Amino acid sequence: MSNRLERRKNASILRAGLNSAKYRCLACEKANLNRNKEHFWPRWLIRFAEATKEPVSWLGKDLPAEAVQIPLCADCNSAFGHDLEGPMSELLPRISVGQSVTDPECELLVRWLWKFEGLAWNAFNFHRSEARYSSKFSLRERVIGKDSIQGIRGSLVVAMALAHRNDPGLHDWSLGMDSGLGTHDAIFASGVFRNVAMMVSFADFARLIPPMFSTYQLAGERQVSGALVLKPEFVFPLVSDAEIVTARGSGRLKVEHERFGERQNTNSALVTNRPRLEIPHPALRTMGS
């Protein structure tokens, strides 16, 4: 094939890839006709955080929380609702008043935080045909699949801390992730939801979690005893204190996780991650992008 034909073919592959990306579900990555626009922040969470007056930051824009929408297929939306949002809509209010949680509830927190991080990552990266959430799992498989957490469960630490009250004069409580989007790391995630600051970290970096957080290292296997393992404490006077401490702590934690993820990917070892296709697609070079 001549170079010219080759270039045309590559350009057409790229167009097809970008076009299909528009119609892929962000969670299962399937091109699915039964695709809906779904709320990134679930409605129950917006209500719980009373986040209706102030905009949230999304892909560089300030939007009402209700307006942040993503393409999800109906099946993923239903599965996330059943497996994550339903249980979390009962758990988060309990945590926010200082109730303790069990080991399986900590796993739920991990999966729930990973869902937000993963959806945001995919939303940012889907237009890059070489970008993949993970070489092992789709986002859906990772956050609600039974097998995806095996092997690393016992290396995960969940951290939580509570704020006493909202800042004077503010209507909305907190709603947002603080961990940012990395290139290699898909473990660390953090955010503040209403008055609850929470993080999931790799255990090796738990020493970097701000000391006012209560922490729990998950057991290697899911503990079904119902024992309470982590009690969140009211340590921040105001929600803005929780946001500032969580955001500052998250910067250093994310950097360390990124370094670690990069090393792991280079060595092909187990942990996360999201090794991506590193060789640029020839069409990308042809298109000069």
Residue for token pair 């600051």: 197
Closest of 181, 46, 153 to residue 190, by C-alpha: 181
Instruction: Count other C-beta atoms under 10 Å from residue 57's C-beta.
Output: 11
Question: Phi, psi at residue 138, to the nearest 5°?
Answer: -75, 165
Q: Which residues pair with 214 in a beta bridge?
A: 160
Q: Which is nearer to Zn ion, 11 or 74 (CB)?
A: 74
Minimum CB separation of residue 30 from Zn ion in Å reads 6
Q: Is 73 in the site for Zn ion (CB under 5 A)?
A: yes
Q: Is 28 in the site for Zn ion (CB under 5 A)?
A: yes
Of 27, 88, 187, 245, the one binding Zn ion (CB under 5 A) is 27
Stretch that binds Zn ion, among 20-28, 115-123, 157-165, 209-217 (CB under 5 A): 20-28
| Cα within 13 Å of Cα(55), Cβ side | 7
Minimum CB separation of residue 180 from Zn ion in Å reads 25
Instruction: With beta carbons less than 8 A apart as the criterion, state whether 25 and 73 touch.
Output: yes
SS3 track for 91-155? HHHHHHCCCCEEHHHHHHHHHHHHHHHHHHHHHHHCCCCCCCCCCCCCHHHHHHCCCCCCCCHHH
Of 14, 21, 46, 76, the one binding Zn ion (CB under 5 A) is 76
DSSP secondary structure, 11-59, as one string: HHHHHHHHHHHHTB-TTT--B-SSEEEEESS-HHHHHHTT--SSEEEET
Q: Which is nearer to Zn ion, 27 or 242 (CB)?
A: 27
Q: Which is nearer to Zn ion, 27 or 70 (CB)?
A: 27
Rg (CA), the chain: 20
Stretch that binds Zn ion, among 69-77, 83-91, 217-225, 269-277 (CB under 5 A): 69-77
Minimum CB separation of residue 183 from Zn ion in Å reads 24
Minimum CB separation of residue 36 from Zn ion in Å reads 10
Minimum CB separation of residue 131 from Zn ion in Å reads 17
Q: Which is nearer to Zn ion, 73 or 113 (CB)?
A: 73
Q: How many residues bind Zn ion (CB under 5 A)?
A: 5
Q: Which is nearer to Zn ion, 76 or 161 (CB)?
A: 76
Of 14, 21, 25, 163, the one binding Zn ion (CB under 5 A) is 25
Binding site for Zn ion (CB under 5 A): 25, 27-28, 73, 76
